[in-house]
Structure 1
Amino acid sequence: MAPMWTGDFPPLDGALENSGHPRIVTLEFLDVCSPRIRRFYSYWESRRNGRLMPTRGDINPADIADLLPYIVLTEVLNEAPYLIYRLVGTKQVAMRGRDPTGMPVISNHLGHHIAFAPDEIILNYRFAIEKRQPIYDYYPLTGPDTGDTSFEAGPVKEIGTLLLPLSADGERVNMVICCTDIRNA
Structure 2
Amino acid sequence: MARDADTRLVEFRQRLGGKDQRTLLDYWQAKRGARPMPSRADIDPAELVPLLSNLMLVDVVEGGARFRFRLVGTRVARASGEDRTGRFFDEYAFFRAYPSVTEQYRQVVASGEPMLATEIFFNREHGTAYDVERLLLPLGREEGQTDMLLAHFRFMRGPFSRE
TM-score when normalising by structure 2? 0.79
Alpha-carbon offset, residue 118 of structure 1: 3.3
Contact kept? 2:35, 2:142, Cα under 8 Å: no
User: Comparing both structures, which one devotes a greater share of its residues to strand?
Assistant: 2
Counterpart contact for 1:145–1:156, Cα < 8 Å: no
Q: Which amino acid aligns with 1:121?
A: V
**CA deviation profile, 1:16-42 (whole Å, cap 9, x unmatched):** xxxxxxxxx974363342111111111
Q: 1:124 corresponds to which residue?
A: 104
Are the counterparts in 1 of residues 57 and 71 from structure 2 also a CA contact under 8 Å? yes
Query: Is residue 168 from structure 1 mapped to residue 141 from structure 2 by the alignment?
Result: yes
Pair 29,123 (structure 1): closer, same or farther in 2 beyond 3 Å: farther
Q: CA deviation at 1:184?
A: 1.4
* 1:105 maps onto 2:78 in alignment: no
Aligned residues: 150
Question: Given residue 129 of structure 1, which amino acid in structure 2 is its aligned partner?
Answer: V
In the alignment, structure 1 segments of 5+ residues that lack a partner are 1-24, 147-154
Runs of 4 or more above 4 Å deviation: none
The superposition leaves residues 132-151 of structure 1 with CA deviations (integer Å, 9 ceiling, x where unpaired) of 000101124353564xxxxx
| CA RMSD after TM alignment | 2.7
Higher RCO (C-alpha under 8 Å, 6+ residues apart): 1
Structure with greater helix share of residues: 2
Q: How does 1:36-185 map to 2 (within 5 A)?
A: 36-78=20-62, 82-108=66-92, 112=94, 117-141=97-121, 143-144=123-124, 146=126, 157-182=130-155, 184=159
Local SS of the residue matching 1:122 = helix
Amino acid at match of 2:56: V
Question: Structure 1: how far apart are the matches of 2:124 and 2:74?
Answer: 14
CA separation of 1:57/1:158 partners in 2, compared to 1, >3 Å: closer, same or farther? farther
* Structure 2, unpaired ranges of 5+: 1-7
Structure-2 change in CA distance of 1:78 and 1:124 (3 Å):
same
SS of 2:138's partner is: strand
Q: 1:29–1:158: structure 2 CA closer, same or farther, 3 Å change rule? A: farther
